């Protein structure tokens, strides 16, 4: 392992090189969101003297346990507010010295806007950077109440989304020091990170910064949060914390220990959760900073014209949320139909019937899971590809079909299941039931899926064998399947 040093306007960084890839971790892209900067828009990071060590990722954002631990595996983050607004860069070692700038992927993690970290080993970008001969960047952003409490009167407006925009600005300004091409930036992410990437690309302030977008398993059935609902949740949250809304709530919130903020958030989540809901109590609010009103309107208004999009979903997305939920697993036919009716109204009967016909041996829980997979994730991905393509743009659509072996929880091709095959970090998923235990299949599938997405970042076309063709709005061709 060799040391690598780069010099930015804010100071020098010492990273390390291994196997042809240089890594620079824990780089501040914004000032620590502490004290008066808690619940405030991100501010530029201060410069540092000497050489800053960039050999390890910064702390994760403060957060509670992930609801997907049973699918992805447990993580017990060493979280802290101080020093948490950081990003990580992996770049081919040669890119630091040659004159051939590489394409760049800025990738945001998922976690329901409540958990996750760009610095976790799941998302280390060395293998992907090597596979694609490109620069990979992952970033933290504020989560839960610290990122998505809706109190515009104190400046708390989609702060996590504002962090993501700040990370993009940092990449545009600094990625050239790492051998990246600021004119060839793809923004991507999975789940909440996919939702975020789409919204970030649609912002007028991002125009000209983003060339392509990768959208993995975005919950299209989940619209940006209604401002009135967000305000209602904020009031309930303040009440749970004992914060007086009329008596300078900003000062009170900034004085509370972050642990109390997290406990209050967990209490709020339990209080407002609907049966089987995938929506967190706080997430990007429609019309607020960094978030448009509606993804259909966003596409139809041309805000993404000129930007190539690669997007898709997994075959069994909702098993990640429902497989371990006793309320869902205990549904009988009448309760299953009633559950869907509470979401879809009169459409529920037909939706249940359609999926019951397609899955004649399925239990009610499996039918409900299939309906929600289609309605929350799959249907919107196809519709977006169609709308975007009809406007003269290129869209590439995929479906993840890999089935883990063994699969005792019957997860199938579940939400998050493609992540090991994007980053190639299989050793980091050893406690993850979504991966299975068939190592001989992994490398080829990683090279196929990860390689296709890397080609899209670098060249704008995923390639593949068979060749991955753009979505055709006239023929409505099948997505590219990966199994």
Kindly name the residue from 124, 388, 415, 428 that is annotated as catalytic: 415
Q: What single-letter DSSP state applies at residue 381?
A: H
In angstroms, the CA 300 to CA 278 distance is 26
Q: What single-letter DSSP state applies at residue 151?
A: B
Token output for 305 = 């014209």
CB 176 within 8 A of CB 182: yes
Long-range CB contacts for residues 78-84, cutoff 8 Å, separation at least 24:
79/117, 81/32, 81/33, 81/34, 81/38, 81/146, 81/258, 82/32, 82/34, 83/26, 83/28, 83/32, 83/58, 83/59, 84/32, 84/33, 84/58, 84/59, 84/60, 84/140, 84/142
Say whether 415 is catalytic. yes
User: Is the torsion defined by CA of 350, 351, 354, 356 positive or negative?
Assistant: negative
Kindly name the residue from 117, 191, 196, 458 that is annotated as catalytic: 191
Say whether 191 is catalytic. yes
CB 305 within 8 A of CB 393: yes
Query: Tokens 């770049």 label which residue?
Result: 91
Output the 3-class SS for 68-131: CHHHHCCCCCCECCCCCCEEEEEEEHHHHCCCCCEEEEEEECCCCCCCCCCCCHHHCCHHHHHH
CB 50 within 8 A of CB 12: yes
Kindly name the residue from 317, 356, 374, 418 that is annotated as catalytic: 317
Say whether 69 is catalytic. no
Q: What single-letter DSSP state applies at residue 428?
A: G
Catalytic residue numbers read: 191, 317, 415
């Amino acid at each position: 392992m060799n040391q690598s040093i780069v010099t930015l306007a804010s100071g020098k960084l010492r990273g390390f090189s291994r196997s042809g890839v240089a890594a620079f971790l824990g780089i501040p892209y914004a000032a620590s969101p502490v004290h008066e900067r808690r619940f405030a828009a991100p501010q530029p990071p201060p410069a540092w003297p000497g050489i800053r060590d960039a050999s390890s990722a910064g702390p994760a954002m403060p957060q509670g346990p992930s609801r997907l631990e049973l699918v992805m595996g447990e993580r017990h983050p060493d979280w802290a507010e101080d020093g948490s607004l950081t990003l990580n860069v992996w770049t081919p070692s040669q890119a630091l010295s040659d004159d051939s700038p590489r394409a760049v992927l800025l990738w945001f993690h998922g976690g329901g806007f409540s958990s996750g970290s760009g610095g976790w080993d799941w998302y280390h970008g060395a293998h992907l950077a090597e596979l694609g001969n490109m620069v990979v960047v992952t970033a933290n952003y504020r989560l839960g109440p610290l990122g998505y409490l809706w109190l515009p009167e104190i400046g708390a407006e989609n702060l996590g989304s504002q962090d993501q925009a700040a990370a993009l600005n940092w990449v545009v300004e600094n990625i050239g020091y790492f051998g990246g091409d600021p004119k060839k930036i793809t923004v991507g992410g999975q789940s909440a990170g996919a939702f975020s990437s789409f919204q970030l690309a649609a912002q007028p302030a991002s125009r000209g910064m983003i060339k392509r977008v990768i959208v993995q398993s975005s919950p299209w059935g989940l619209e940006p949060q209604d401002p009135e609902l967000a305000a209602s949740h904020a009031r309930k949250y303040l009440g749970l914390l004992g914060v007086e809304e009329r008596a300078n709530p900003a000062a009170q919130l900034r004085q509370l220990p972050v642990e109390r903020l997290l406990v209050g958030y967990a209490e709020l989540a339990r209080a407002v959760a609907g049966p089987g809901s995938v929506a967190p109590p706080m997430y990007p609010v429609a019309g607020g900073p960094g978030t448009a009103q509606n993804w259909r309107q966003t596409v139809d208004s041309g805000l993404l014209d000129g930007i190539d999009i690669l997007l898709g979903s997994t075959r069994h997305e909702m098993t990640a949320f429902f497989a371990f939920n006793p309320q869902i697993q205990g549904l009988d036919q009448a309760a299953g139909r009633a559950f869907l009716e509470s979401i879809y109204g009169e459409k529920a009967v037909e939706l249940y019937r359609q999926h019951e016909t397609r899955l004649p041996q399925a239990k009610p829980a499996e039918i409900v899971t299939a309906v929600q997979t289609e309605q929350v994730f799959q249907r919107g991905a196809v519709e977006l590809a169609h709308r975007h393509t009809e406007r003269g743009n290129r869209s590439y659509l995929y479906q993840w079909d890999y089935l883990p072996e063994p699969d005792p929880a019957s997860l199938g091709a579940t939400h998050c299941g493609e992540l090991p095959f994007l980053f190639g970090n299989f050793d980091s998923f050893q406690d993850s039931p979504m991966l299975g235990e068939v190592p001989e299949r992994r490398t080829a599938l990683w090279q196929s899926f990860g390689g296709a997405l890397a080609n899209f970042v670098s060249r704008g076309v995923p390639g593949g064998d068979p060749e991955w063709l753009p979505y055709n709005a006239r023929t409505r061709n099948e997505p590219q399947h990966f199994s």
